[in-house]
Chain A
């Protein structure tokens, strides 16, 4: 999923400063799973902003709504009837959600309330880990299910570097060395010989070489 964290409240307040009627818009998908922009967090941010406005005796209307998915048009259109009541949207969607809402309503400023972080997994309660860079050419088979691009600090395809000690990364001793994990997993499957080959330079054009990527699926279009 896509992970995110809420921006500092002061930054949010500065951005919404000029507006009088604000829709605080949550998203019940990824950012709800990582407790950054779901219904609950949206309600909490809404009341915090109302409270702050009241303390400063500012006359501001702040209302909340949460869409099932902020990055899919068929959910965004649900705002069609109400969007005109607001002069700005404060979005708790990921970067894709913010832009999708902005695309749909070109007349309305859409302000991000979150910092979108990474593609990751929920490792434990309150712990999310980055493990995919969306490179467009999955190499996980080759590396035994551990991505060196997302999880090795130097993105080595032919690691480990000389800083791997006791299974830890030199950048941060609390971080696993991805290459130790790769070697451990491949040896468990008797597939360590896979690493004898030199992994060739990555074709980055699949990720960023040709500008923003898009997927076109004619079978899905109607």
Chain B
């Protein structure tokens, strides 16, 4: 069912992109974003109320994209649903033909537009991975009850090579693999040196033989965005020289510079042992994805 899985198993360098659902009930926006990404990427990763801001559900947006012939990755956070709802949505997603599931803890509710809500966190992201894997491979839910039919899902998880403590980051990656991750998507990579340290430790532990690692990239739109992400987003590592590069070009060239940095990063990742693909998170800038993929020499994408 998962096209992404087929690409990775064939040994192709995979390309996925992120798609944020609208803050409204308009299906056209989802379909328009899908059209921008069609034939440019192997799978489209749909966020689940990212930064804890209410948006159209990931499940609904994934279903729309699936209907339009794309391969969606359903992001699922443990912030908003208890284990009953999580398992129920996993079954529903598979029934609707969604073939990929990315298990996340989710941005904390205090960052979003519903700061008075309660964070559920019944399971954590690793426990969710384990749950999905048991549903798929054993045909059982938590507690052991048997499913009438198993969900068919390619299971993903996130990893942040730039957060602390560094020495524990690879241990946690190994834990996610043991829990059930088939693929990993990393936090946005700007500090290639630190990423290299992380991936070589993972390679030393033989982890990329057990999981496909997709390096995360985000094209910068402006020096302001670079500074904001550097200073205000926890676990984001943007070296000063990247900020300076963005500051060093005139305003009308800033987006081009952002795309250039992104393409350079992808080219470096392509050569790095242990990296199986890239995940492009062009935040509210899906138009840029096609150009980035093309300039990184990743077109045409292998067909469905």
Q: Mark A142-182, 1 if CB is under 8 A from B, else 0.
A: 00000000000111111111111111101100000100100
Question: Which chain B residues lie closer than 8 Å to A165 at the CB level?
Answer: 163-164, 234-235
Does B160 reach chain A (CB closer than 8 Å)?
yes
User: Chain A: which residue is nearest B82 at the CB level?
Assistant: A204
User: Which residues of B lie under 8 Å from residue A157 when comparing CB positions?
Assistant: 124, 126-127
B6-14, B145-153, B171-179 - the one binding chain A? B171-179
Q: Judge whether B196 is part of the interface by a CB distance below 8 angstroms.
A: no
Interface stretch of the complex, out of A59-67, A87-95, A192-200: A192-200
A180 CA to B164 CA, complexed, in Å: 8
| B121 adjacent to A154 (CB under 8 Å) | yes
- Cβ–Cβ < 8 Å partners of B122 in chain A: 201-202, 204
Check B127 against A170 for contact (C-beta < 8 Å).
Answer: no
Q: By the criterion CB–CB under 8 Å, are A201 and B163 in contact?
A: no
**Assembly CA distance A198 to B129 (angstroms):** 11
Query: What count of chain A residues pass the 8 Å CB interface test?
Result: 29
| Highest count of chain B CB atoms <10 Å: which of A163, A166, A199, A202 | A163
Minimum CB–CB distance for B32 against chain A, Å: 30
The closest CB in chain A to the CB of B128 belongs to A201
CB contact under 8 A between A200 and B127, given known A154-B119, A165-B234, A171-B110: yes
Partner of A154, one of B124, B131, B159, B160: B124
CB pair A154–B108 under 8 Å, yes or no, is yes
- What is the size category of the interface that chain B forms with chain A? 20 to 34
Q: Are A163 and B234 neighbours in the complex by a CB distance under 8 Å?
A: yes
A170/B108 in contact, CB under 8 A: yes
A100 at the interface (CB under 8 A from B): no
Q: What's the nearest-Cβ distance from chain A to residue B163, in Å?
A: 5
Q: Mark B97-123, 1 if CB is under 8 A from A, else 0.
A: 000000001101010000000010111
Chain A nearest Cβ from B110, distance in angstroms:
6
- In the complex, what residues of B have CB within 8 A of residue A156's CB? 105, 121, 124-125
Say yes or no for A183: interface residue by CB 8 A criterion: yes
CA distance A160 to B234 in the complex (A): 13
In the complex, the answer to whether B124 meets A160 with C-beta atoms within 8 Å is: no
Instruction: With A170-B108, A183-B168 as known contacts, state yes or no: A162 contacts B83, CB within 8 Å.
Output: no
Q: Which residues of B contact A (CB under 8 A)?
A: 79, 83, 105-106, 108, 110, 119, 121-127, 130-131, 142, 158-160, 162-165, 168, 171-172, 174-175, 178-179, 187, 234-235
A sample of 6 more A-B contacts (CB under 8 A), given A156-B124, A163-B234, A198-B126, is A153-B108, A162-B159, A162-B234, A163-B108, A164-B165, A196-B175
Top-3 shortest CB links A-B: A162-B160, A170-B234, A158-B126
Residue contacts A-B, CB under 8 angstroms, 20 given = A154-B106, A155-B124, A156-B105, A158-B175, A160-B168, A162-B158, A162-B234, A162-B235, A163-B108, A163-B235, A164-B163, A165-B163, A165-B234, A177-B164, A183-B165, A183-B168, A198-B127, A198-B179, A201-B131, A201-B142
